[in-house]
Amino acid sequence: MSHFPIPVTVLSGFLGAGKTTLLRHLLKTEHGLKIAVIENEFSEAPIDGQLLGDEPVQVLTLANGCVCCSIHGDLERALYLLLERLDSGAIAFDRLVIECTGLADPAPVAQTFFVDEELRERYILDGIITLVDAANAERHLSETIAQAQVGFADRLLVSKRDLVDEASFEALSQRLQRINRRAPIRVVDHGRIDLAELLDVRGFNLNADFGPTLSLRPLTPAGSTDRISTLVLKSERALDLDKLSEFMNELLEEHGNSLLRYKGVLNIAGEARRLVFQGVLKLYGFDWDSEWREDETRESVMVFIGDALPEEQIRAGFAKTVV
């Protein structure tokens, strides 16, 4: 049987940031989509009290056609159960949202869709969305796991914006950009936000378009000691493919578990096409993209978001790849 992969959105964020409020809004909105939500048992407040019980996995179809799945077990079991019910015709959905717990690392959730072959064929990871509580961000971001949630994100949604002044919001935005320069920052108002900010993000697509997801505007020097940060490497000179491969292999071998997200659009010597790669931790993919236009600068850009990365060592290694 032929199946189109089901887009998956991972929803992350610290306790109290508003994930459940956002999900409630998503499930009640008449958007015409059939969305399945996997909600875990550690949420502050369940989406629907009927979902909680003694069974490891419970599934409930809502009035607008959305499906809610409450799990008290591992994620893979819930994913397979949803597929079984979908294939049997018991339920119908064409998108999936997974809510992580407030203290959860999004990495294992993301890796699930790369490691398991059948899940990789049936689901496609679309993006990681992280909510940030503006009123409590300073306290939350003192925790490395909260910084990691920001670092993994393809979109950053700031909640409770009305509870902080303009100066505090600007300082928070600067800090979030120092941690993750790939992710655009949006404000969510009591769970309400344009669905285009949540769905079809294509954060894991292999393409050369950084689009609005890479902010390179100057940032105020950091006054904090955040462990998670963004490192941007650039070169207008062509790169040697063999030396680049050696550089990446050594980087992943030494620091792969500290590299949360990374992406590159590269100008390779003797090649008319862009080389595109991106990855999560030690899992990555690469491909040749479109040809460089004659009227554009053939500039290589590599963006790494990682935990306490040795920046000078990485810059030195990258410099050796230049032809």
pLDDT of residue 42: 45
Which residues make beta-bridge pairs with 98?
A: 10, 38
Residue owning tokens 């800090």: 175
- Tell me, yes or no, whether 60 and 23 share the same domain: yes
Any domain includes 14: yes
Same domain, 302 and 175: no
Domain CATH for 273:
3.30.1220.10
pLDDT of residue 300: 95
pLDDT, tens digit, for every residue of 183-211? 999 999 988 998 888 999 999 888 877 65
Is 136 in the same domain as 243? no
- The C-alpha atoms of residue 44 and residue 70 are separated, in whole angstroms, by 13
Q: Are 201 and 232 members of one domain? A: no
- Say whether both 265 and 189 belong to one domain: no
Instruction: Flag whether 301 is in a domain.
Output: yes
pLDDT score at 211? 52
Structure tokens at 168: 């505090």
Name every residue whose Cβ is closer than 8 Å to that of residue 268 and which is 6 or more positions away in sequence: 238, 239, 240, 241, 244, 275
pLDDT digits 0-9 by tens, 3-19: 789 999 999 998 889 88
pLDDT score recorded for residue 224: 58
Task: Give the full edge-to-edge strand order of the sheet including 57-61.
Answer: 57-61, 67-71, 35-40, 95-99, 6-13, 123-133, 155-159, 185-187
Query: Tell me, what's the pLDDT at 76?
Result: 86
> 297 and 165: one domain?
no
Contact 23, 9 (CB under 8 A): no
Name which of 285, 213, 320 is nearest 275 in CA terms. 285
pLDDT at 213: 47
pLDDT for res 23: 85
Same domain? 30 vs 143:
yes
Last residue of a domain, which of 158, 174, 205?
A: 205
29 and 65 in one domain? yes
Q: Is 223 contained in some domain?
A: no
In this structure, what CATH number is given to the domain that contains residue 76? Answer: 3.40.50.300
| 262, 305 Cβ separation under 8 angstroms | yes
Residues 53 and 200 in one domain: yes
Total domains in the fold of the chain: 2
Return d(Cα 220, Cα 32) in angstroms, integer.
43
pLDDT at 15: 82
Please indicate, yes or no, whether residues 184 and 301 belong to a single structural domain of this protein. Answer: no
Q: Is residue 117 part of a domain?
A: yes
- Residue appearing with tokens 């306290």: 139
Question: Phi-psi bin for 160: left (phi > 0), alpha (psi -120 to 50), beta?
Answer: left
Judge whether 219 lies within some domain. Answer: no
Is residue 220 assigned to a domain? no
**48 and 157 inside one domain:** yes
Query: What pLDDT, on the 0 to 100 scale, is given for residue 38?
Result: 86
Please check whether residues 75 and 165 belong to one and the same domain: yes
Taking residue 246's Cβ as centre, other Cβ atoms within 10 Å add up to: 14
**Whole-number pLDDT of residue 53:** 44
Q: pLDDT under 70 in the chain at which residues?
A: 1-2, 40-60, 62-65, 70-73, 210-224
Q: How many residues does the chain have?
A: 323
Q: Which domain holds residue 10?
A: 6-205
Q: Per the domain annotation, does 216 fall within a domain?
A: no
Task: Identify whether 218 is part of a domain.
Answer: no
At 27 the pLDDT is 80
